[in-house]
Structures are given as C-alpha cells and as structure tokens.
C-alpha cells in the first residue's frame, strides 16, 4: 500500500510534551487535512513526517517503507515532498531558479549541480499553474507576498512527489487567491498522488479536504469527513473556542 501513516508519535521539547501519541493516515488521491489551534503540534508533526525532527517514539511509514530512521533526502527520494510554514526562499535568485531547486531531491546533489538549467517542462508547468509564469526571471525578493507564497508549492511539485505535506501554504492569502490555490491542490491529486494539508482557514479546509484530523494540545480530538468534523462538539469547543459556529 502506498499511503502515509504515522503511528503513536510522541515528542517532547525539554519539559513540554508536544505530541502525546498521535496516529493518522493519508491516502493517495485524497487531501488529508490536519487542523488545530496554534501550538497544537501540527508543524512538529509535519517535521517528524518529513524527517526534520525526530520523534521520541512512534513510527512513520510511507509506501511500505519505515521512514522512522531515514533522513530528509532519503524520504524525499521515496516521494515525500514538503513546504514550510515560513517561506524558505533563496533571495538573489530568480523565481525559476528557486523552483528548479526542487528538481534535485537530494540536497547534496543540489549543491553540486547548482541551479542554472530551468527549462524543464515540469518547471514551466508549475510556474504556469501557480500563476508565476510572468515572474519567472524576477528575483524572488521582489515578489508580492501572495506570489512569493506560490514559489514553495511550485518547487515541491517539480520533484513530482507522491505525497505532498504543506504547512499553512495559504496563510495570509486573499480569499480569491485561497480559492484558486485550493483548486490547484485538488488538481494535484491522482491515484498515485496525495496531499497532507495543514491550514487554519476553515472555509478552505472544508472545501478541499476529503478527510480531516483535528489536533489540540498534542492530542487528536477528532477525525472524519468535513461534515463529521463540522458537527463535532469537541472540535467546536477546542478549535473554535466557543462551542458555536464561528
Ligand atoms: N524546536 C522547538 N523547541 C521547543 N519547543 C518547540 C519547538 N518547536 C515547537 N515547539 C513548541 O511545540 C508546541 C507545538 O508547536 P507547533 O508544532 O509549531 O504547533 P502548530 O504548528 O500546531 O502551531 C508549541 O508549544 C511550540 O512552542
Ligand atoms: Mg505550525
């Protein structure tokens, strides 16, 4: 089976237990959302999935491989892609060069080969679908916030990952851009491609997700379809803070 699964993940930072035994599963062909209030542990879980942070215990399994002890570039080589909550762009380089870096799944290979060639059809296609085609030769530092937010997703998809983990890729976008981005995310799906989406905007989550996990203080308090999660009282209390529809 080619799904992604995390099993009973625990993580502590110093005295603070951030994840208390979290298990979730993301299938190909689906958007699996991870939501929850600030500090719930979402980014930490994304870092554990992609290998930037090591869990204290538990397992990460992807496409039949136990990733738990694998390094970031090994996970990437197995088809795991990732965007960051804070933009990780290389200023002084063009949009196309930043996106082209995604072609090199191994960081080491990336530094040896360097950027330069950005004529790969996958790069052109990513720039087009994320409306960056007109900015391809511009320095990333000169982009508006909304366009800069599109560079990382473009960089991730050019590696043709089979599972893409995105940490708040739409945060701060206008609602029109959010809607377009949600549409783009749905377009990534295929029988061999899935998405894990961390996001705050409930409207976006409810419209793009097939399945939702809700994390609160390091504990999964609910999971289900958008309708099930919307109706869940625990979610309303913990996530919306009021017990009422926001
Ligand atoms: N590297 C770190 N060192 C210490 N504490 C951390 C570190 N990363 C995250 N935390 C803490 O872990 C908790 C969960 O953070 P995070 O995973 O970023 O939550 P979320 O992405 O859901 O907002 C927070 O209390 C945060 O301060
Ligand atoms: Mg976060």
Q: What is the pLDDT along the chain (246 residues), one digit of tens a residue?
A: 689 999 999 999 998 999 999 999 999 999 999 999 999 999 999 999 999 999 999 999 999 999 999 998 899 889 999 887 777 899 999 999 999 988 875 444 445 455 445 567 889 999 999 999 999 999 999 999 999 999 999 999 998 999 999 999 999 999 999 999 999 999 999 999 999 999 988 899 999 999 999 999 999 999 999 999 999 998 888 766 654 444
Which protein residue's CA is at the shortest distance from atom 16 of ligand 1? Answer: 41
How far CA 4 is from CA of 66, 75, 103, 223, in Å, comes to 10, 12, 22, 16
- Ligand 1: list residues with CB < 6 Å: 13, 18, 36, 38-44
Kindly report the protein residue whose alpha carbon is nearest to atom 10 of ligand 1: 13
Alpha carbons 200 and 180: distance in angstroms, whole number:
16
Q: What is the reported pLDDT for 213?
A: 97
Q: What is the pLDDT of residue 108?
A: 47
Give the ligand at the shortest distance from the Cα of 35: 1
The ligand 1 atom at the shortest distance from the C-alpha of residue 44 is 17
pLDDT of residue 1: 66
Three-state SS string over 123-191 comes to HHHHHHHCCCHHHCCCEHHHCCHHHHCCHHHHHHHCCCCCEEEEECCCCCCCHHHHHHHHHHHHHHCEC
CA of 205 to the centre of ligand 1 (A): 22
Q: Is 210:227 a contact under the CB 8 Å cutoff?
A: no
CATH superfamily, with its number, for domain 1-79+161-246: P-loop containing nucleotide triphosphate hydrolases (3.40.50.300)
Residue ranges per domain, the chain? Answer: 1-79+161-246, 93-160
Nearest CA to ligand 1 atom 1: 13
| pLDDT of 241 | 61
Cα of 119 vs centre of ligand 2, distance in Å, is 34
């Amino acid at each position: 089976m080619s799904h992604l699964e995390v099993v009973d993940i625990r993580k502590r930072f110093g005295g603070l237990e951030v994840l208390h035994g979290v298990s979730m599963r993301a299938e190909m062909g689906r958007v699996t959302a991870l939501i929850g209030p600030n500090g719930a542990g979402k980014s930490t879980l994304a870092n554990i999935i992609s290998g930037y942070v090591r869990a204290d215990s538990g397992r990460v399994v992807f496409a039949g491989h136990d990733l738990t002890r694998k390094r970031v570039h090994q996970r990437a080589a197995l088809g795991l892609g990732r965007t960051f909550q804070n933009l990780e762009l290389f200023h002084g380089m063009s949009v196309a060069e930043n996106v082209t870096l995604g072609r090199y799944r191994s960081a080491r290979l990336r530094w040896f080969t360097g950027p330069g060639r950005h004529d790969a059809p996958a790069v052109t296609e990513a720039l087009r679908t994320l409306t960056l085609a007109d900015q391809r030769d511009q320095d990333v530092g000169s982009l508006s916030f909304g366009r800069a937010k599109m560079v990382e997703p473009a960089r991730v998809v050019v590696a043709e990952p089979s599972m893409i983990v995105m940490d708040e890729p739409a945060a701060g976008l206008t609602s029109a851009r959010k809607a377009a981005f949600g549409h783009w995310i749905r377009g990534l799906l295929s029988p061999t491609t899935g998405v894990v989406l961390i996001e705050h905007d409930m409207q976006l989550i409810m419209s793009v997700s097939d399945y939702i996990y809700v994390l609160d203080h390091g504990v999964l308090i609910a999971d289900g379809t958008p309708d099930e999660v919307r109706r869940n009282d625990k979610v309303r209390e913990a996530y919306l803070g009021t017990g009422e529809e926001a």
